Amino acid sequence: MTLRVVDLACARGPAQILAGVTFAVAPGEALILRGANGSGKTTLLRTLAGLTPPLAGEIITAPDAIAYAAHADGLKSQLSVGENLAFWAGVFGTKDTSAAIDAFHLGPLLDRRAGEMSAGQKRRLSLARLLVTGRPIWCLDEPTVSLDAENVARFAAAVTAHLGMGGSAIIATHIDLGLPMAQTLDITQFVAKRIRADDPFAEAMG
């Protein structure tokens, strides 16, 4: 499942942030988004995920192919690991969660409350959630924030495994993940900050 983006323009609130964004991600490839804070990485990912309607351009991919994961990982602290995963499996319609549980060694943690886990364990659970969605294209926003070196390595291994199985990933991060097939895309080249084109209040009037 390749993801092709052609001449995409994204907006954050009243302002357009990016314009002319064009790239393609083939199965098995990873794309690292570089750019200063506020240069629109999150906005781009949210537009790819379909949360924010793009101002212009196209996102060409199979329907329901993109799984989005942001800082806020959508885990309920009162629910146990197993219940959280079962919930997301129910939402995404995947039958069993054992594959995701084994991939991130969550077996021993299954009935521990999500609220009682360390940041690293929580990150592993949110990655397991990604696996549960069963969607090939991962859009990850700063996935390795608040993770120590060991967990970052484990995260990189998980992404590599995902790429190995023909999935692809678009990751906004500042940390070098050492992924094999990773290209880097610096989105500062696409930054075109001005008022949204469909906002008629930009030019002077009486």
51 is a site residue for other proteins (CB under 8 A):
yes
Q: Are 186 and 12 in contact (CB under 8 A)?
A: no
Residue with tokens 């964004």: 21
The separation between CA 36 and the C-alpha centre of its own chain, rounded to angstroms, equals 17
Q: Identify the residue among 44, 89, 101, 106 touching other proteins (CB under 8 A).
A: 89
User: Minimum distance between the CB of residue 176 and other proteins, rounded to whole angstroms?
Assistant: 26
The separation between CA 161 and the C-alpha centre of its own chain, rounded to angstroms, equals 16
Q: Are 127 and 85 in contact (CB under 8 A)?
A: no
**Phi and psi dihedrals of 125, rounded to 5?**
-65, -40
157 or 195: whose CB is closer to other proteins?
Answer: 195
| Number of CB atoms found within 10 A of residue 85's CB | 25
User: Minimum distance between the CB of residue 93 and other proteins, rounded to whole angstroms?
Assistant: 6
User: Minimum distance between the CB of residue 133 and other proteins, rounded to whole angstroms?
Assistant: 7
91 is a site residue for other proteins (CB under 8 A):
yes
Site string for other proteins, 55-84 (x = CB under 8 A): ---------x-xxxxxxxxxxx-xx---x-
Distance CA 128, CA 102 (A): 9
174 or 193: whose CB is closer to other proteins?
Answer: 193
Sites of contact with other proteins (CB under 8 A): 13-15, 46, 49-53, 64, 66-76, 78-79, 83, 86-93, 129, 133, 193-195, 198-206
